[in-house]
């Protein structure tokens, strides 16, 4: 069965995207400057300037501009691995055979860099208050794996996680934190920017992020030694010699000065983008308030998200039957109830783009043999189940009941109202 668009709702002529780049004009000016000064390279004024602006904005001492957020996470893993486990020989990962705790409900770019360095990700379940790593499950994980010394945590959809609690658990067990702030640039926790809480942190300027370079990312740290290493590694690890002299493994990970021009032009609009995204979030919240759903939650007392993506989750008792296989899905329509699949079809039918919640890493075939720790213990549940009113596997529960809504900055109020109407129809 498939969703049929009601005749009363007309599809948009131009697609409303989940989150597309929003340009302002200055980007072109700085790109042109790179062209005219011939700094069409991985060196130049735009790179220096975006690194400076980032340090000033986030409050970190060093920012190293790289080709992607994933590259920044890779460099962070390598730094942490060398620090924790000594200098590996070329050809061996810095985390070879070592377990690393990771957010479970996140984009796979949080996790893959662990594996690039030979590490073994162990996934930590999610909490319901911010949809990020659960500090209680993290504590449990250290009971099961007391030797783990590295934790990578993401701030999903631009919402800061329970940073104080997570930090306290990591400190107790002497573990280093890598913060994946790729989605949360500009979000704050107790007044401080995300990307400052870990030892080695990352941000991204991928095309769909809150501001973009079309691509790009940065490694953030307060350690000069770490920043210098990443500058060297990311430009093929050249030693200071008259020829190409190599003592370490190198990478071609540096950001282009043209890309940096785009980022430079975007930075002054970061706050504008956040304000637009916040307004989108609040309009959804208001427009959906009498439905059996809620928006992606955050800790209003301690944090201010960047509202990168607006998401919603359907109340348990308002879920119609939905069965997901590895590659396809079906559902059974019921009056007064709906499910993410039906709502995503309704959104698609009017030429707008929604998306399922990131499928949790412990449910991904590639990571099926990796550990997964929940509040209630270890091991995977076969299906979404509840004990004493709490989900046994919170990641799975949010994946099953949640979805991301069209959150493009350029979406007009009237257009958003049409999307809201289409969602409301699903619950009739």
Ligand X SMILES: *Cc1c(COP(=O)(O)O)cnc(C)c1O
Q: Which of residues 217-256 bind ligand X (CB under 6 A)?
A: 217
By CB under 6 A, name the one of 80, 109, 176, 177 that touches ligand X.
109
Positive or negative torsion for Cα 56, 133, 229, 209:
negative
By CB under 6 A, name the one of 42, 206, 221, 322 that touches ligand X.
206
| Diameter over CA atoms, the chain | 75
Beta-bridge mates of residue 121: 100
DSSP 199: S
Tell me how many residues contact ligand X (CB under 6 A).
Answer: 14
Q: Which is nearer to ligand X, 106 or 126 (CB)?
A: 106
By CB under 6 A, name the one of 30, 85, 107, 251 that touches ligand X.
107
Interface with ligand X, residue 360, by CB under 6 A? no
Nearest residue relative to ligand X (C-beta): 69
Interface with ligand X, residue 68, by CB under 6 A? yes
By CB under 6 A, name the one of 100, 148, 154, 423 that touches ligand X.
154
Q: Which is nearer to ligand X, 204 or 221 (CB)?
A: 204
Tokens of 55: 């340090």
Q: Which is nearer to ligand X, 69 or 354 (CB)?
A: 69
Tokens of 277: 């995204």
The phi, psi pair for 156, rounded to 5°, reads: -70, 135
Place of tokens 């004990």: 387
**Cβ neighbours, 10 Å, residue 8:** 8
Q: DSSP strand E in 290-356: where?
A: 293-295, 303-304, 311-314, 321-324, 329-332, 355-356
Minimum separation from the CB atom of position 70 to ligand X (A)? 3
Sequence-distant (6+) residues with CB within 8 A of 386 are 316, 392, 397
By CB under 6 A, name the one of 127, 180, 342, 408 that touches ligand X.
180
Tokens of 354: 């929604």
Residue positions counted in the chain = 428
Q: How far apart are CA 274 and CA 307, in angstroms?
A: 6
Minimum separation from the CB atom of position 206 to ligand X (A)? 3
Q: Which is nearer to ligand X, 69 or 305 (CB)?
A: 69
**Piece of the chain touching ligand X by CB under 6 A; list 22-30, 52-60, 65-73, 313-321:** 65-73
Of all residues in the chain, what percent are helix, strand and coil, respectively (each to 5)?
35, 20, 45
Interface with ligand X, residue 117, by CB under 6 A? no
**SS3 label, residue 226:** helix
Minimum separation from the CB atom of position 205 to ligand X (A)? 6
Q: Which is nearer to ligand X, 68 or 177 (CB)?
A: 68
Interface with ligand X, residue 183, by CB under 6 A? yes
Q: Which is nearer to ligand X, 320 or 404 (CB)?
A: 404
Interface with ligand X, residue 213, by CB under 6 A? no
Tell me which residues touch ligand X (CB under 6 A).
68-70, 106-107, 109-110, 154, 180, 182-183, 204, 206, 217
């Amino acid at each position: 069965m498939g969703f049929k668009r009601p005749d009363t709702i007309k599809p948009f002529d131009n697609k409303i995207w989940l989150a597309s780049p929003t340009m302002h004009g200055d980007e072109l000016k700085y790109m042109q400057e790179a062209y005219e000064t011939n700094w069409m390279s991985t060196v130049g004024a735009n790179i220096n300037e975006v690194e400076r602006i980032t340090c000033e904005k986030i409050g970190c001492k060093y920012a190293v501009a790289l080709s992607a957020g994933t590259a920044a996470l890779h460099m962070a893993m390598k730094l942490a691995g060398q620090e924790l486990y000594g200098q590996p020989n070329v050809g061996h990962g810095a985390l070879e055979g070592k377990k690393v705790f990771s957010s479970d409900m996140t984009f796979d770019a949080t996790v893959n860099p662990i594996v690039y360095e030979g590490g073994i990700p162990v996934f930590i379940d999610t909490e319901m208050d911010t949809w990020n790593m659960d500090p209680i499950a993290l504590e449990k994980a250290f009971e099961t794996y007391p030797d783990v010394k590295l934790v990578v945590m993401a701030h999903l959809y631009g919402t800061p996680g329970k940073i104080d609690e997570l930090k306290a658990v990591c400190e107790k067990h002497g573990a280093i934190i890598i913060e994946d702030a790729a989605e949360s640039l500009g979000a704050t926790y107790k007044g401080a920017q995300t990307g400052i809480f870990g030892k080695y942190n990352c941000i991204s300027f991928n095309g769909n992020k809150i501001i973009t370079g079309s691509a790009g990312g940065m490694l953030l740290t307060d350690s000069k030694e770490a920043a210098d290493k990443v500058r060297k590694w990311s430009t093929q690890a050249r030693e200071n010699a008259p020829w190409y002299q190599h003592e370490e493994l190198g990478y071609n990970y540096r950001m282009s000065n043209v890309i940096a021009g785009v980022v430079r032009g975007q930075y002054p609009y970061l706050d504008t983008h956040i304000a637009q995204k916040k307004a989108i979030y609040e309009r959804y919240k208001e427009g959906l308030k009498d439905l059996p759903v809620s928006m992606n939650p955050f800790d209003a007392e301690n944090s201010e998200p960047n509202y990168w993506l607006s998401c919603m989750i359907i109340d348990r008792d308002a879920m119609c039957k939905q069965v997901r296989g590895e590659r396809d899905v079906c559902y059974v329509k019921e009056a007064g109830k709906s499910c993410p699949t039906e709502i995503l079809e309704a959104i698609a039918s009017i030429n707008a783009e929604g998306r399922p919640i990131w499928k949790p890493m412990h449910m991904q075939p590639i990571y099926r043999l990796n550990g997964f720790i929940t509040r209630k213990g270890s091991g995977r549940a076969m299906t979404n189940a509840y004990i004493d009113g709490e989900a046994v596997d919170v990641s799975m529960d949010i994946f099953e009941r949640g979805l991301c809504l069209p959150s493009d900055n350029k979406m007009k109020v009237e257009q958003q109202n049409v999307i809201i109407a289409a969602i409301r129809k699903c619950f009739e």
